[in-house]
């Protein structure tokens, strides 16, 4: 017996036929599960969406994922010599529970941990270098910055505490119709204020010193988002959490999660670029009308189109990122929302570092720093310089000191010139450059973030990047959009935009 006749019987039995008929007639097809869903983009957002959509809608629905480039999107590796290295999104926080759950589900191990060591470069010299001794670091920091350091850890922790609430809400099936509502459910008004203020404003008002912001906080926002402490307070907190200990990566490359999710979700990968999406209204069996989305795409063999019940856009709708025309929608949907994406150039160099570039007299054979962050000084060319390890750590591997030829990753806003490279490296065996439109250029106070819901059954996952861009943020958004799509399809309004979930679910823990 199909679920539709079952529900009709139940309605008749309850004597609700007369009243029930109306809602059935207005949305006749919506009682059945959808037949076809399209996901546009196969980065971590799109592939996680496919995974969660399968979970919500079951085995019967056909899920197509469109991707003209390589699966993984901003997660990408390049080969230097014998090994592969991450060139895009590289580190994951220990409390990023979706990412953790994905690798467990897919049976992929985390990459073997290689201890890191940080230093800060002000354009002339190294102003700070982490010691191997925790107590030495601690005393140095206390000496220079008083309790700013401890207070920062407490501040980030308090935000993380609220952030973690999203996992419980999603576990219980709750979803949110906008980025603002999602943030509000996690951290109330204080989270909305965070997105609307600069990190600098937030931290100054919390009593942090300007010198601490310049010396310590700015280098962290520069390495993670290529921008200053004028990014919003929320992405700023995400960035500072990204300087925590216990960060991890996926063995063999982070993009393996994307191919794994795609496979696990039993979706079909269509290697094509989506060019436009239009809404089509069709009469249905019962005489009422239903709407479909016509997805037009081009691949190697030309252009084609297909009809879908639900579409999830999992690529930024911004200049230079994607160019999808939406037609037949009222109100119209723009191809590009306001706001720009920030360029970060990732240059991998297999070569020998010029130690005098860092203004240090330390012998290269003793220099084992992995991450050189930079302060925000006029004319600074690089955002960071890191000694990086392969995506798969071979047995017995130790990070070599700077006296050996190895792979360095430089983040900068513009392409490095030959002269700049020559200054930084004594010799170069190979160089590989990737120009990313990496993450939004954050300029709070923020106008409204783009919506999750573009049209009845057309969703937009990357709206979340305006709060913060990270793998886990795309995964959270993917789960949210899958839940939203499910609840709206089955008219379960009670699972959308519920207020005060934190108090209501407290007893359930």
Ligand X SMILES: *[C@@H]1O[C@H](CO)[C@@H](O)[C@H](O)[C@H]1NC(C)=O
Ligand Y SMILES: Cc1cc2nc3c(=O)[nH]c(=O)nc-3n(C[C@H](O)[C@H](O)[C@H](O)COP(=O)(O)OP(=O)(O)OC[C@H]3O[C@@H](n4cnc5c(N)ncnc54)[C@H](O)[C@@H]3O)c2cc1C
Per CB under 6 A, residues contacting ligand Y are 40-46, 66-69, 73-75, 88-92, 273-274, 314-315, 322, 324, 344, 346, 436, 438-439, 462, 469-472, 474
303 token code pair: 């252009």
Contact yes or no for 352/405 (Cβ under 8 A): yes
To ligand X, the closest distance from the beta carbon of 447 in angstroms equals: 7
Closest to ligand X by CB, 48 or 120 = 120
Residue 354 interface partner, choices ligand Y, ligand X, none, CB cut-off 5-8 Å depending on type: ligand X
Strands 273-283 and 325-327: parallel
CA 162 to chain centre: 18
Residue 178 interface partner, choices ligand X, ligand Y, none, CB cut-off 5-8 Å depending on type: none
Q: 369: buried, middle or exposed (CB in 10 Å: 19+, 13-18, 0-12)? A: buried
Residue 19 interface partner, choices ligand X, ligand Y, none, CB cut-off 5-8 Å depending on type: none
Closest to ligand X by CB, 137 or 360 = 360
Asked if 354 interacts with ligand X (CB under 6 A), we say yes
Asked if 91 interacts with ligand X (CB under 6 A), we say no
Residue 438 interface partner, choices ligand X, ligand Y, none, CB cut-off 5-8 Å depending on type: ligand Y
Candidate residues 196, 228, 306, 432; the one interacting with ligand X per rule CB under 6 A: 196
To ligand X, the closest distance from the beta carbon of 4 in angstroms equals: 42
Contact yes or no for 391/84 (Cβ under 8 A): yes
Closest to ligand Y by CB, 44 or 484 = 44
Residue 445 interface partner, choices ligand X, ligand Y, none, CB cut-off 5-8 Å depending on type: ligand X
To ligand X, the closest distance from the beta carbon of 123 in angstroms equals: 11
Closest to ligand X by CB, 421 or 437 = 421
Strands 268-270 and 62-66: parallel
* Sheet bearing 62-66, strands edge to edge: 268-270, 62-66, 36-40, 310-313, 458-460, 453-455
Rounded-to-integer distance, Cα 216 and Cα 427, Å:
31
Candidate residues 117, 357, 401, 502; the one interacting with ligand X per rule CB under 6 A: 357
Asked if 194 interacts with ligand X (CB under 6 A), we say no
Rounded-to-integer distance, Cα 11 and Cα 31, Å:
13
Closest to ligand Y by CB, 103 or 501 = 103
Candidate residues 180, 200, 201, 371; the one interacting with ligand X per rule CB under 6 A: 180
Q: Per-residue x/- mask for ligand X, residues 407 to 436, rule CB under 6 A?
A: ---------------xx--x----------
Which of 442, 10, 367 is closest to 194 using CA atoms?
Answer: 442
Closest to ligand X by CB, 194 or 348 = 194
Candidate residues 192, 241, 310, 485; the one interacting with ligand X per rule CB under 6 A: 192
The conformational region for residue 246 under phi > 0 = left, psi -120 to 50 = alpha, else beta, is: left
Supply the DSSP symbol for 60.
T
Contact yes or no for 320/437 (Cβ under 8 A): yes
To ligand Y, the closest distance from the beta carbon of 403 in angstroms equals: 28
Closest to ligand Y by CB, 40 or 483 = 40
Helix axes of 148-163 and 233-241: crossing angle, nearest 10 degrees = 100
The span of 272-280, 354-362, 458-466, 495-503 binding ligand X (CB under 6 A) equals 354-362
1 token code pair: 């017996």
To ligand X, the closest distance from the beta carbon of 491 in angstroms equals: 28
**DSSP per-residue letters across 442-502:** --SSP-PPPPSEEETTEEEGGGGGGT--SHHHHHHHHHHHHHHHHHHHTT-GGGBS-TTHH
* Paired strand residues for 198: 232
Closest to ligand X by CB, 318 or 446 = 446
To ligand Y, the closest distance from the beta carbon of 508 in angstroms equals: 29
Q: Per-residue x/- mask for ligand X, residues 437 to 466, rule CB under 6 A?
A: --------xx--------------------
Sign of the CA dihedral with 479 first, then 180, 234, and 335 last: positive
Cβ-Cβ contacts under 8 Å for 141 (sequence gap 6 or more): 149
To ligand X, the closest distance from the beta carbon of 411 in angstroms equals: 19
What are the residues binding ligand X (CB under 6 A)?
A: 180, 192, 196, 354, 356-357, 422-423, 426, 445-446
């Amino acid at each position: 017996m199909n679920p539709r006749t079952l529900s009709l019987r139940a309605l008749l039995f309850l004597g609700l036929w007369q009243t029930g008929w109306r809602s059935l007639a207005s949305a006749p097809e919506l009682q059945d599960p959808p037949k076809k869903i399209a996901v546009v983009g196969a980065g971590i957002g799109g592939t996680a969406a496919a995974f969660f959509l399968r979970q919500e809608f079951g085995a019967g629905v056909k899920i197509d994922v469109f991707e003209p480039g390589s699966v993984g999107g901003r997660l990408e590796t390049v080969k230097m010599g014998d090994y592969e290295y991450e060139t895009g999104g590289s580190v994951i926080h220990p409390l990023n529970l979706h990412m953790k759950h994905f690798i467990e589900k897919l049976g992929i191990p985390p990459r073997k941990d290689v201890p890191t060591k940080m230093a800060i470069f002000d354009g002339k010299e190294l102003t700070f270098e982490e010691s191997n001794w925790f107590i030495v670091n601690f005393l140095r920091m206390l000496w220079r910055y008083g309790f700013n350091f401890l207070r920062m850890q407490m501040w980030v922790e308090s935000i993380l505490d609220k952030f973690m609430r999203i996992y419980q809400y999603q576990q219980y099936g709750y979803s949110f119709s906008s980025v603002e509502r999602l943030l509000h459910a996690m951290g109330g008004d204080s989270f909305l204020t965070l997105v609307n203020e600069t990190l600098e404003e937030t931290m100054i008002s919390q009593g942090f010193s300007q010198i601490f912001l310049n010396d310590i906080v700015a280098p962290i926002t520069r390495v993670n988002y290529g921008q200053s402490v004028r990014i919003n307070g929320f992405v700023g907190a995400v960035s500072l959490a990204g300087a925590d200990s216990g960060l991890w990566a996926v063995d063999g490359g982070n993009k393996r999660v994307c191919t794994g999710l795609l496979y696990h979700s039993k979706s079909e990968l269509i290697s094509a670029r989506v060019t436009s999406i239009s809404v089509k209204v069709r009469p249905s069996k019962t005489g009422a009308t239903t709407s479909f989305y016509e997805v037009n795409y081009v691949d190697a063999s030309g252009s084609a189109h297909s009809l879908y019940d639900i579409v999830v856009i999992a690529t930024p709708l911004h200049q230079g990122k994607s160019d999808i025309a939406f037609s037949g929608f009222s109100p119209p949907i723009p191809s590009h929302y306001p706001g720009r994406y920030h360029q970060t150039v990732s240059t991998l160099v297999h070569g020998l570092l010029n130690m005098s570039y860092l203004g240090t007299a330390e012998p290269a054979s003793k220099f084992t720093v992995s991450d050189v962050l930079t302060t925000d000084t006029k004319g600074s060319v690089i955002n960071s310089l890191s000694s990086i390890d392969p995506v798969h750590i071979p047995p017995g591997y130790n990070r070599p000191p700077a006296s050996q030829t190895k792979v360095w990753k430089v983040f900068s806003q513009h392409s490095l010139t030959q002269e700049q490279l020559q200054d930084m490296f004594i010799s170069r065996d190979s160089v590989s450059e990737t120009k990313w439109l990496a993450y939004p250029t954050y300029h709070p106070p923020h106008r409204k973030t783009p919506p999750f819901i573009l049209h009845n059954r057309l969703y937009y996952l990357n709206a979340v990047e305006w709060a913060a861009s990270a793998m886990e943020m795309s995964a959270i958004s993917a789960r949210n959009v899958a839940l939203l799509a499910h609840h709206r399809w089955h008219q379960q309004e009670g699972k959308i935009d519920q207020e005060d979930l934190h108090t209501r679910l407290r007893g359930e823990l």
